[in-house]
Chains A and B, each alone.
Chain A
Amino acid sequence: MSKHAPLGGSVASTTTIIAAALAAIMVVVVGYRFVFGLGAVTHLSNGYPWGIWIAYDVVIGTAFACGGYAMALVVYILNKGQYHPLVRPALLASMFGYTLGGVSVIFDIGRYWNAWHLLTPGFANPTSVMLEVALCIMAYVVVMWIEFTPVFAEKWASADTKRKLNKVLFVFIALGVLLPTMHQSSLGSMLVAFGFWIHPLWQTDLLPLLYLISALAMGYSIVIFEATLVTAAYRRPSEARLLGSLSKYILWLLVAFLVIRWGDIIAEGKLRLAFSSRGLSWMLLLETALFLLPVALLGSAERRASGRCLFIAAVSMLLGGALYRIDGYLVAYVRPGWHYFPSLGELLTTVGVVALEVLAYIVFVKRLPVLHSVASPKDNLRAPDVAATTSK
C-alpha cells in the first residue's frame, strides 16, 4: 500500500485564485507578443537579445526545478532511503518547473514555427551547446512525467500495471539523473562562446562545473523551501530533522562551489578585478555573501535542527544561485552602448509562469497521492534513525 495520499480539500483558495489571475494576465501578454512581435512586449534589443525569459524562466527556473534531480541522486543513487518522503513533492515541482521553462522558450524564440527543427537530425548542429541543452531538457521533461506515472497509476491503474511500471522505472530514474547533469552544466558552457562579452569574473572554462554544483545545491534548497512552506500551509508535522540532515549536502556543495569559484579567480589572476569592477564587484560580493550565509548557518548541528535556520539558509542559497545566473547571463554580459531592464510585459509573463507552476502544484498535491500521509506510524519511526545514520 502506498505511503502517499492526496491532501484533499477544496482547490479554490486565495492563493489559487490569485495564481490563476496572474496566469490569465500572462496569456494576454503572450498573445500580444505573438501578434505584434517580441519588440512590442519586451525590452530586448540586438545588444541584449536574451532577457529574463531566458535568464529567469529557463536558466534559473530549471535550476530551481532541480529538486527532483537532487533527491533522485540521493535516494536512488546514493541509496539514502530515509529521504524517500521528499522525492515525490520534489519531483512534482521539478516537473512543472521544467515543463513551463520549456514552454517559455516557445514565447521567446522568434521563429517558433520552426521549433521542430531542434528535434530533426537533418538540422542538428553538434557543436551547438544550445542544441544539447534543448534536447536534454525536452528529454528530461518526458522522463519526469514518466517518473511521475506511479502517482497517476496509484490513483487509476491496476496492481498489475503498477508492478510492470515499477520494473522499468529504474531506467527513467537513471536518465533522470544523467540528463540534468548534462544540461545544468551545459547552461554554464553556453556562456563560453560569448567570450569577451562576459566580464572575466564570470567567464571561465569552469562554468559547467560551477553551474552543475550550484544547480544541485539549489535543488536541495528548493526541497527544504517547498517542504517548509507545505508544512506551514497545510499544518503538517515538521520535517525539520529530515531536512536538517539533507541540508548537509548544501553545505558541502557550497563549500566546493566557493573554493572553485574563488580559487579560479585567484589562479587566473583576476583577484584585483574582483574589487575594481565597480557595480560588478558589488554583485560578486553579494553573490558570495548569499553563499556564505548558508555555509555559516548550516555549519553547526544545532542550527541545522532549527526549521527557521534551514529556511533562511535555503532562501539565501536560492537567491545566490539565481543571482549568479542573472549576473552571468545579463549583468556581466556587457555590451557597450546597450542597456537592458525587463519590461512590464516580460515581468508579468515570468510572474505568470511561476503562478501557473504554483497553481498546478497545489492542484496536484490536493488531488493526487504526492505527499506522504502523516498518519503512517512508519514515518514517525523513520525520522529518528535519520540523524543517527547519516552523521557518519
Chain B
Amino acid sequence: MGLTRRNFLKGAAAGGAVAACAAAATGPADARENKTLPPKATGLLYDSTLCIGCKACVVACREANDTQPEFNTADKLWDTPLDLSGDTLNVIKVYSDGTAEYKDQEKDGFAFIKKSCMHCVDPSCVSVCPVSAMRKDTETGIVRNDPSACIGCRYCVAACPFGVPRFQFDRAFPRIRKCEQCSERQAQGKIPACAEVCPTGATLFGPVGALRDEAERRRALTAGQVTTFSRKTVGSDDVHEKPVAAYVPHTYGMTEMGGTQMLMLAGVPFDKLGYPALRQRSYAAESETLQGTVYKGMLAPAVLLGGLLYVAHKNTDNDHEED
C-alpha cells in the first residue's frame, strides 16, 4: 500500500480515535482506603520489657508447627535459629548497646524483641498473591498461606514490609512458611503456643481490642509503679506483680501500614529493634488504588480494545489484499 495523503490522514485520525477512547475510559477512580480490623480479630501483645529472653516460645513454636531445628554451631547440637526462615516462624532477638548493663535502655542497655508475623489489618502479602494462597480470615483476621494453592512465586516474601513470609530455598518441594497464630490449636480451643508457654506474659494472646486497651493501660502508668501483668491471655487470672518499665511513647502496630494484629511495647525505640517507622496508608491500598485507576475494572482495556479492533480492521483491509 503506497503512502498517500489520504492514507496518512486516515491513519492519523484512527490513532487519535484510539487515544481518545483510552483517555475517556481512564478518569479518576475512587481511592481504595485501608482495610479495617475484622470483627473477631485476635492478636498478640508482645511487651519487650517483660521478656527475659528464655526462648521458650521459639521451642513451643517448633513443636506446634512441626518445624526442623536449625543448627549454627560447629557441633550441630544446638538449635540456634538466627532469624525467621523456612523453618523458623518465631524468633527472639536481642538489642545490645555499649556495656549492655541495663535492661530496656537504649544507651548501655539491652532489650529483647520478638519477630513473627504481624497479621496486618491490610496485608501486602494478601493483596499481591496471584492465586489467593495468602488469605486473611474475614472473622479472626489471621493471615494464612495455603500451600495447596501457592505457586511459590515469592511475591509475598518480596513485598511484606516486615520481611515475614519465608520461602524454603533449600528444598526441591518448598513451601512458604510464616506464623499463622496457631490457627489449628485455636480451632481446638487452645491459644497460640508462644503465648501459652511464656513465663512472664511478655507474649499475651487475646482479642485485638482488649490487647490495645492493655497496651494503653501499661503505657499510662509511671515507670517504677507496681502493677499486675496477666500471663497467656489478656485479662487472665494467672498474674504476677512487677514494677513498670519506662516505655517509649508508642504502641507499635497501632498505625503502621494501617495497623497490625500483633502489638508491641518496648523500652528501646522500635527502629533499634528492627521495626522501622512505617506510614499509616498501607502499600496494598496504594497499589490497588493505582491499578484501579488505570484499569477501572477492566473497562478501560475493553474500550481500548474496541478502538484497536476498529482501526486494525480498517488498516489491514487493503493491506493484506495487496500482500
Give residues in A with beta carbon < 8 Å to B.
2-3, 34-40, 42, 44-47, 49-50, 76-82, 84, 108-112, 114-115, 117-118, 123-125, 127-132, 134, 166, 169-171, 173-175, 177-178, 181-182, 185-186, 189-190, 192-197, 205, 208, 333, 335, 385-386, 389
Contacts and interface: CB of A to CB of B under 8 A. Distances in A.
Given A118-B151, A197-B161, A182 B166 contact: no
A376 to B, nearest CB: 12
Contacts of B14: 77-79
B131 A129 contact: no
Interface of B: 1-3, 7-8, 10-12, 14-15, 18, 84-86, 124, 127-133, 147-155, 157-159, 161, 163, 166-175, 276, 278, 283-284, 286-288, 290-291, 294-295, 301, 304-305, 308-309, 311-313, 315-316, 319-320, 323
Contacts of A127: 127-128, 284, 287-288, 291
Contacts of B304: 178, 181
Contacts of B12: 78
Contacts, number: 210
B149 A114 contact: yes
Contacts of B3: 80-82, 385-386, 389
Given A46-B84, A109-B153, A197-B159, 18 more contacts: A46-B157, A49-B167, A76-B315, A76-B319, A79-B11, A79-B15, A81-B3, A81-B319, A114-B151, A123-B133, A130-B153, A132-B291, A175-B308, A177-B308, A178-B305, A182-B301, A195-B286, A208-B290
A63 B284 CA distance: 26
A192 B8 CA distance: 39
A3 B283 CA distance: 52
B312 to A, nearest CB: 4
B315 A128 contact: no
Contacts of B320: 166, 169
B83 to A, nearest CB: 8
A111 B174 contact: yes
Contact of B166 (A46, A124, A190): A46
A205 B161 contact: no
19 contacts: A37-B169, A37-B172, A46-B167, A78-B11, A79-B315, A84-B319, A109-B153, A110-B167, A111-B147, A114-B149, A117-B131, A127-B284, A173-B312, A178-B308, A182-B301, A193-B159, A194-B158, A195-B283, A389-B3
B157 A49 contact: yes
A38 B175 CA distance: 12
A154 to B, nearest CB: 10
Contacts of B18: 77
Contacts of A181: 304
B132 A125 contact: yes
A54 to B, nearest CB: 9
A330 B295 CA distance: 27
B152 A174 contact: no
A363 to B, nearest CB: 24
A45 B294 CA distance: 33
The 7 residue pairs across chains A and B that have the minimum distance between CB atoms: A110-B152, A79-B11, A39-B169, A111-B152, A195-B283, A174-B308, A49-B154
Nearest to B3: A389
The interface centre, meaning the residue of B15, B147, B150, B158 with most chain A CB atoms within 10 A of its CB, is B158
Nearest to B130: A131
Contacts of A173: 308, 312, 316
Contacts of B278: 196
Contacts of B294: 185, 189, 208
A181 B300 CA distance: 12
A188 to B, nearest CB: 10
Contacts of B131: 114, 117-118, 123-125, 131
Contacts of B86: 46
B128 A77 contact: no
A110 B163 contact: no
The interface centre, meaning the residue of A38, A84, A208 with most chain B CB atoms within 10 A of its CB, is A38
A47 B284 CA distance: 19
Nearest to B127: A127
A169 B277 CA distance: 54
Nearest to A42: B169
Contacts of A174: 305, 308-309, 311-313
A46 B163 contact: yes
B161 A196 contact: yes
B19 to A, nearest CB: 10
A173 B319 CA distance: 13
Contacts of A49: 154, 157-158, 167
B130 A125 contact: yes
B15 A134 contact: no
B170 A134 contact: no
Contacts of A38: 169, 174
A78 B15 contact: yes
A36 B172 contact: yes
B315 A77 contact: yes
Nearest to B286: A192
A124 B130 CA distance: 6
Nearest to B161: A195
A392 to B, nearest CB: 9
Contacts of B323: 2-3, 166
Given A79-B11, A127-B288, A193-B127, A171 B151 contact: no
B130 A128 contact: yes
B81 to A, nearest CB: 13
A346 to B, nearest CB: 13
Given A79-B14, A80-B3, A109-B153, A124 B132 contact: yes
A81 B1 contact: yes
B174 A170 contact: no
A128 B153 CA distance: 12
A193 B124 contact: yes
Contacts of B155: 128, 130, 190, 193
A37 B170 contact: yes
B305 A189 contact: no
B312 A123 contact: no
Contacts of B288: 127
A84 B158 CA distance: 42
Contacts of B173: 111
A193 B1 contact: no
Given A36-B172, A37-B170, A112-B151, A76 B316 contact: yes
B266 to A, nearest CB: 19
